Amino acid sequence: MIKIASKNINFLEKVSKIPVLKHFFILKISENFNDIKSELVLNKFYRDIWVNDKTSKKTEKKRFSDLDIPSFELMKENKDYIIHDIAVSNGICSNDFYELLAEKKKKFEFYISDKFAEIKVKKGFITKAYDNENHLIFAYAGCFYAADKNTFFPLTVLLFKLLQKNKTPEKFDYSLLLLHPEVSEKVKKKKFKFISYDIFNTEIHEKFTFVRAMNILNLGYFNEDKIRTAVINIKKSMKENAVLLVGRTNAKKINNASFFRKQNNKLAHLKDINEGSEIKKIIENL
Ligand SMILES: C[S@@+](CC[C@H](N)C(=O)[O-])C[C@H]1O[C@@H](n2cnc3c(N)ncnc32)[C@H](O)[C@@H]1O
């Protein structure tokens, strides 16, 4: 059954719409995750995945087509192009930016990160998937049960709560980086370097000349203190003269974003796209 499912994309596309079944099939075949080429199936999987804070995994191709050219123009003032795209979800927007830079035939290093890109799987009578902080994300037994934050059948909610109380396995059978296939391919070819980076805690010192943090430092996700902590942390990771892009895509798919340049340990405002970032004042007052 699993063999048939993994070779039959139409079938997978249908089951991926059924909450209770989708993780079962997709995770069962996930050891071959990178071979699933269907955008529909992959998007369903990435987007519905449970993230252990208020953020979502939502992203889409060409989301930043109005930001990529100004980013490139502002980057040009630096000799080196060392880019870090933070909280990339499946990384498809990093891929768009990569293609633009490659077209311009520039030499660049491109780092991508996302705290919750990796899931770790323990197989068994009940197969369980965990995030990198060892929180249970979802689980299934046979094909009858799967639980995540979007599944509200009372029995599955109860079972999920019980399973959350179980001890986290010491060893996992395999882990997956939930990246878009085009991004995985570039990681394999070392065109992208995937790094582990938690926007609040990971310290990197004066490495990057361009940093992008889109749709992560939103006031709807984190309070001002948390956002300040994250921006101070990002600033540390930037070289003098490096450029920072932060912003949020609104419900009408408009990117309200702002660019800053690191100068004398401050982030000086450079320009806004549309209304600018909602956290512009926080950054300017750091
Ligand atoms: C809405 S997505 C943004 C994706 C992409 N940047 C975009 O704008 O299309 C938010 C991402 O932030 C990641 N995330 C959540 N908390 C994080 C943290 N503390 N550090 C780094 N990434 C985090 C989530 O895993 C999720 O993939």
Q: Decide if pLDDT at 31 tops 80.
A: no
Q: Is residue 58 part of a domain?
A: no
Residues 27 and 161 reside in one and the same domain? yes
115 lines ligand 1 (CB under 6 A): yes
pTM, two decimal places: 0.90
Q: Decide if pLDDT at 222 tops 90.
A: yes
227 lines ligand 1 (CB under 6 A): no
Percentage of the chain surpassing pLDDT 70?
Answer: 84
Residues 135 and 82 reside in one and the same domain? no
Residues 166 and 44 reside in one and the same domain? yes
Q: What is the mean pLDDT of the chain?
A: 87
Residues 94 and 14 reside in one and the same domain? no
The whole-number pLDDT of residue 259 equals 98
Q: Decide if pLDDT at 54 tops 80.
A: no
- Domain end among 137, 157, 177: 177
Residues 34 and 111 reside in one and the same domain? no
Q: Decide if pLDDT at 144 tops 60.
A: no
Residues 122 and 33 reside in one and the same domain? yes
Q: What's the one-letter identity of residue 163?
A: L
202 lines ligand 1 (CB under 6 A): no
Q: Decide if pLDDT at 228 tops 60.
A: yes
Domain with 16 in it:
2-48+118-177
214 lines ligand 1 (CB under 6 A): yes
Residues 143 and 171 reside in one and the same domain? yes
CA 143 to ligand 1 center in whole angstroms: 30
Place of tokens 């059954």: 1
The whole-number pLDDT of residue 133 equals 87
Residues 161 and 252 reside in one and the same domain? no
CA 124 to ligand 1 center in whole angstroms: 30
| Banded model confidence at residue 2, pLDDT cuts 50, 70, 90 | low
Q: Decide if pLDDT at 210 tops 90.
A: yes
Q: Is residue 107 part of a domain?
A: yes
224 lines ligand 1 (CB under 6 A): no
Q: Is residue 54 part of a domain?
A: no
Q: Decide if pLDDT at 151 tops 70.
A: no
Buried b (16+ CB within 10 A) or exposed e, 106-121: eebebbbbbbbbbbbb
pLDDT tens per residue, range 102-130:
999 779 999 999 998 888 989 888 888 88
The whole-number pLDDT of residue 178 equals 84
Residues 270 and 166 reside in one and the same domain? no
Q: Is residue 55 part of a domain?
A: no
Strand pairing report for 238-249 and 208-214: parallel
Burial of residue 213, with CB atoms counted within 10 A of its CB: 0-12 exposed, 13-18 middle, 19 or more buried: buried
Count of the separate structural domains present in the chain:
2
